[in-house]
Chain A
Amino acid sequence: MDLTPEEWEAVRLSLAVATRAVTFGLPFAVLAAWLLARCRFPGRPLLDALVHLPLVLPPVVVGWLLLLTFGVRGPAGRVLHDWFGLRLVFTAEGAALACAVMSFPLMVRAIRLSLEGVDRGLEEAARTLGAGAFDRFATVTLPLMAPGILAGAVTAFAASLGEFGAVITFAANVPGETQTLPLAIYSALQTAGGEDVAARLSLVAIMLALAGLVLGDWIGRRLRP
């Protein structure tokens, strides 16, 4: 199967965007899962709803909300631009942010589930053995959550590869910059005689998804205690 340099670029870009989205989202997802599973505080139902919002909102709405917030004139966008010289709109970083937000609920759900499955008795045991709070988390809780974290990361990665609406709204469809696989497929279908390109790219997308699932399953089984 021969891909043109432009098509390769879309594949590479998709992988880079998804990797960034997962890397950036993961620590926040662990934190959110921890807050939701272990802590009781007044704003908890609100946080729960907020985390799950991207799952139920139309992706275009999420993209537009990101545009409002992180656009050059938006409250967060202005700070990033003026203080750090960072522009998210119409960039690969912006595409990664859109993917991270969209896949966030998937990640939090998987991690939260695994956290709730961790036997608190084991943390108590670690405590009587002299382990402080962070020590316990790093040496007992986190390793026992690892399969869930991994499952969440793989799902989020796959979802990021396929994210369309939020990316095209927030980051637009710039070849080589923000044109990920689904956007490239969409563009190909809009072009006369682009069916071949769309078919090739779709095949790549299917193979990537399958590879991700198999890899995730394999690592998950190896990590299980």
Chain B
Amino acid sequence: MTLDVAIRHEHPGFSLDAAFTAPTPGVTALFGPSGAGKSTIIAAIAGLLRADRARIVLDGADLSGLPPEKRRIGLVFQDGRLFPHMTVAANLRYGQRRAPPGPTRFEDVVEMLGIGALLARKPRNLSGGERQRVAIGRALLAQPRLLLMDEPLAALDAPRKAEILPFLARLRSEVRIPIVYVSHAMEEVAALADTLVLLEAGRVAAAGALVEIAARADLPLAARDDAAAVLAARIVAHEPARDLTRLDAGGAEILVRTVDRPVGSEVRVRVPAREVIVATERPNGLSLHNILAGTVRGLVPDPARRSVLVEIAAGGGALLAQITPDAVARLGLAPGRPALALFKSVAVQIL
């Protein structure tokens, strides 16, 4: 099943012509700098913006001709937009009252988002993080067939973001509603998305599975200071004696600091390009644990950072390494050559 979106819209000074297809259910991230057209696409999918041309087909049903109130597409706004004159409970039930009976239950949503203690309060007495959780709950209870989230964490400071991210991860695994998530924070996207749609000045620069797109050195995504590859991995074993956890990523073993999740859990491993060392021979006497053997898939110069991004196919996906042009020359790196990707356990981010 898929979500098909094709939108064309002309603003004065801005033209949007974007189309993508994403598998459902799953989380699709629209990622790109501000002004790339992310929010315009969201508004057009919800129907709040009348685009010049819009085609929104969800699992075979064409929603394009319906007014927003008939689309049953939930939308979590960046600023929450809770009704200030209603209590949290009344806000949560607003959409539920107007929706046909569905599988999402009030008690479950309240429990999942941890907002049970807030029900009698008015929105003005909530913190930013609490407000966003209520907004997410309100959208979910409207029994949407698609949930749109327009930078739901952008207005929050780092601690509040860290407070909500686990709820979003839970949402992703517990709710079987397809989600389109807009963000310009790579970390959120890496943690949540299955499919990544990369937007650049109103056009789709690339679209595909997150692990594929994140490791492409030729995309604008890699030309960022926080460029990082993402690998899908599974927890194989905990080694309490060494205080390490053993992961399997596409047949390759990765050791990280102990992860507080059960054996067998699926996790995502984010390896920043700056933290990866490239070698052609296996070194000895190093403190690092992870040496993944792979093949050089591509080399992309990044003159702005006086470096080269090396894409190494390994671990069931690919890793990115940011190294100097001199290192590329010394090692004689070229597409198709074998190479080793080295990185420390502490450099790995578990999502």
Contact = CB atoms under 8 A, between A and B. Distances in A.
Interface of A: 119, 121-122, 124-132, 135, 139-140, 143-144, 225
Most buried by B among A124, A128, A135, A143: A128
Given A225-B122, A225-B124, A128 B83 contact: no
Contact of A128 (B75, B84, B85, B124): B75
Interface stretch (B94-102, B199-207, B246-254, B341-349): B94-102
Q: Please list the 7 inter-chain residue pairs (A to B) with the smallest Cβ-Cβ separation, ordered nearest first.
A: A129-B95, A130-B98, A225-B84, A125-B81, A225-B85, A128-B75, A127-B68
Contact of A125 (B70, B72, B75, B85): B75
Contacts of B95: 129-130
Contacts of A128: 46, 48, 68-69, 71, 73-75, 139, 142
Nearest to B141: A129
Contacts of B238: none
13 contacts: A121-B81, A122-B81, A125-B75, A125-B81, A126-B83, A126-B94, A128-B69, A128-B71, A128-B139, A129-B74, A130-B69, A130-B70, A131-B98
Interface string B34-49: 0000000000001010
Contacts of A130: 69-70, 72, 95, 98-99, 142
A126 B69 CA distance: 8
Contacts of A121: 77, 79, 81
B138 interface: yes
Contacts of A126: 83, 94
Contacts of A225: 84-85, 122, 124
A126 B68 CA distance: 10
A124 B67 CA distance: 12
Interface string B108-140: 000000000000001010000000000000110
A125 B77 contact: yes
Given A124-B48, A125-B77, A130-B142, A143 B85 contact: yes
A17 B115 CA distance: 50
Contacts of A139: 94
A121 B69 CA distance: 14
Given A124-B48, A225-B122, A132 B69 contact: yes
A127 B95 CA distance: 9
Given A122-B83, A225-B85, A129 B77 contact: no
Interface string B47-74: 0100000000000000000001111111
Nearest to A135: B98
A216 to B, nearest CB: 19
A125 B131 CA distance: 14
Given A124-B81, A128-B69, 9 more contacts: A121-B79, A128-B75, A128-B139, A130-B70, A130-B98, A130-B99, A139-B94, A143-B85, A225-B84
Nearest to A143: B85
A140 B83 contact: yes
